[in-house]
Amino acid sequence: MSPIHNASQNPAIDLASLPLRYRFAQLSGDETVPRPAIADHPRTQACARLIDQGAETLPFHGFDSLESILKVFGEHGIDRDVYQFKAAFERVEALDENSPQLSRGLGKSGKRLDDYRCGGGMLIRAAILARAGLDDEIIIAKEITESVALFTGLLGVANKDELVMPYRDKFIMHKGIALPSYYHLVILAHTQGWRTPENLAHLKQAVSNLCRLSLPHALVKCGSQLVAPAYLNEQHWLTPWKIHYDSEKAMWVERTILLLQASIADEKFLSVIKDFAPKFVEQWSKSIRNTQPFLKWGAYSGIGLEPDWKSGERKKVDLWFRQRQIECLLPIENQPCFSPV
């Protein structure tokens, strides 16, 4: 049974915001729910106002940025032909490595991280375009190739000491070492041309090795400066029930979705997801206290589609959508038996 068929048995969905009802309907191919407009949600209204003030004046990265605005529009079901969506997309597409706007929200570290292949402004630009529905992947071909290469580079790593080393009270990457980042995963999740059987097999092995290595949070030493790339170093990918911090719960949900969209979750991870996905709404809806990682949309936060979680039902139905999304992305043989929430 398709998981969304059970959605009609949950009356809370009928009271949810239009973007959430639309996204639920997308999972089942139900075309009776109208596509949301900017005016249908306070979050998309706020983003549109920022674009109306001038896309060229906005930060590139972070909160209230071109990055977060396009993320909001896409996740809330706004059509790409809507003026504000199109204006933000075209502004990002027009940026190059010499554009001053590319450093707004990143500072000088953006160019340095691109030079170190650790995820700077041009990589983030590619990820934004991919997530927003880029028509021609050739525009970001360099970043797609780099994303595949950085994942496959993990295949021969036997020990995390080959990648990171202690530095004062922190860890830093060995010189010349680069790891796949959150943005490399976003690019792979939203592009298709790289998906050969060989690449998919190698990247599944790479993700398996990344989980096994359980890397600590590591910085990159750029000259005398320590810079924090958005590395994929979650230590609880295979043990989500052990996650304590609410920010890490939100990251687990989003990055699990990205791994499934990229089709590079290995069998062990798929087994964990199958077991945990039906449980996390009940477990986490009661334990989440800090709603910002879920409801404040920025570069690395924002997965909730409801305007707020002032009621427990809103929180639960928001998390339930992400549960259903994860379950629908699982290969058929890994999908759990669905039951009403």
User: pTM of the prediction?
Assistant: 0.93
> Mean pLDDT over all residues of the chain?
90
Same domain (yes/no): 219, 244: no
Same domain, 248 and 287: yes
Q: How far is CA 14 from CA 198, 271, 280, in A?
A: 44, 32, 22
Q: How far apart, in whole angstroms, are the C-alpha atoms of residue 223 and residue 112?
A: 10
* Residue 245 region by backbone torsions, left for phi larger than 0, else alpha for psi between -120 and 50, else beta: beta
Q: Name every residue whose Cβ is closer than 8 Å to that of residue 100 and which is 6 or more positions away in sequence.
A: none
> What string of H, E and C letters represents the secondary structure of the chain?
CCHHHHHHHCHHHHHCCHHHHHHHHHHHCCCCCCCCCHHHCHHHHHHHHHHHCCHHHCCCCCCCCHHHHHHHHHHCCCCCCCHHHHHHHHHHHHCCCCCHHHHCCCCCHHHHHHHCCCCCHHHHHHHHHHHCCCCCHHHHHHHHHHHHHHHHCCCCCCCHHHCEEEECCEEEECCCCCCCEHHHHHHHHCCCCCCCHHHHHHHHHHHHHHHHHCCCCCEEEECCEEECCCECCCCCCCCHHHCCCHHHHHHHHHHHHHHHHHCCCCHHHHHHHHHHHHHHHHHHHHHCCCCHHHHCCCCCCCCCCCCCCCCHHHHHHHHHHHHHHHHHHCCHHHCCCCCCC
The yes-or-no verdict on residue 340 having pLDDT over 80 is no
- Residue matched to tokens 């989440």: 288
Bridge partners, residue 227, by sequence: 220
Q: What is the pLDDT of residues 61-73, one digit of tens each?
A: 999 999 999 999 9
Q: Are residues 227 and 116 in the same domain?
A: yes
Top mean-pLDDT range of 29-43, 108-122, 321-335: 29-43
Q: 228 and 146 in one domain?
A: yes
Q: Domain for residue 186, yes or no? A: yes
Q: Please check whether residues 228 and 114 belong to one and the same domain.
A: yes
- pLDDT tens-place string over residues 87-111: 999 999 999 999 999 999 988 777 7
- Based on the domain organization, do 182 and 295 belong to the same domain? no
Residue 202 lies in a domain: yes
Tell me if 103 is assigned to some domain: no
Q: Note whether residue 154 is domain-resident.
A: yes
Q: Which two tokens stand for residue 87?
A: 């204006």
Is the confidence at residue 11, as pLDDT, over 90?
Answer: no
307 shares a domain with 261:
yes
pLDDT at position 3 is 41
Look at residues 196, 217, 233 and tell me which one is the last residue of a structural domain.
233
Let me know whether 215 and 244 are in one domain.
Answer: no
Distances (CA, A) of 86 to 52, 69, 90, 186, 255: 12, 11, 6, 20, 26
226: β partners: 221
Q: Are 258 and 186 in contact (CB under 8 A)?
A: yes
Residues forming a β-bridge with 172: 165, 219
What's the length of the chain?
341
Does residue 3 or residue 278 have the better pLDDT? 278
What pLDDT is attached to residue 137? 93
Which pLDDT value is given to residue 193? Answer: 96
pLDDT value for 119: 75
Question: Distances in Å between the alpha carbon of 19 and those of 75, 81, 130, 146, 325?
Answer: 8, 17, 21, 34, 14
Q: Do 136 and 163 share a domain, yes or no?
A: yes
Instruction: Tell me whether residue 74 is in a domain.
Output: no
Q: Which of 233, 258, 282 is the last residue of a domain?
A: 233
Q: For residue 206, tell me if it sits in a domain.
A: yes
Among candidate residues 233, 257, 281, the one where a domain is terminated: 233
In a domain, 18, yes or no: no
- The answer to whether residues 144 and 209 belong to one domain is yes
pLDDT over 90 for what percent of the chain? 73
Q: Structural domain of residue 145, as residue ranges?
A: 109-233
Cβ–Cβ contacts within 10 Å for residue 266, how many? 18
Does residue 13 lie in a domain region? no
| 327/38 Cα distance (integer angstroms) | 28
Contact 153, 143 (CB under 8 A): no
In the chain, the number of structural domains is 2
pLDDT of 8 strictly over 80: no
Q: Are residues 223 and 244 in the same domain?
A: no
Residues 212 and 242 placed together within one structural domain of the fold = no
Q: Which residue from 310, 315, 329 is spatially nearest to 280, judged by alpha carbons?
A: 315
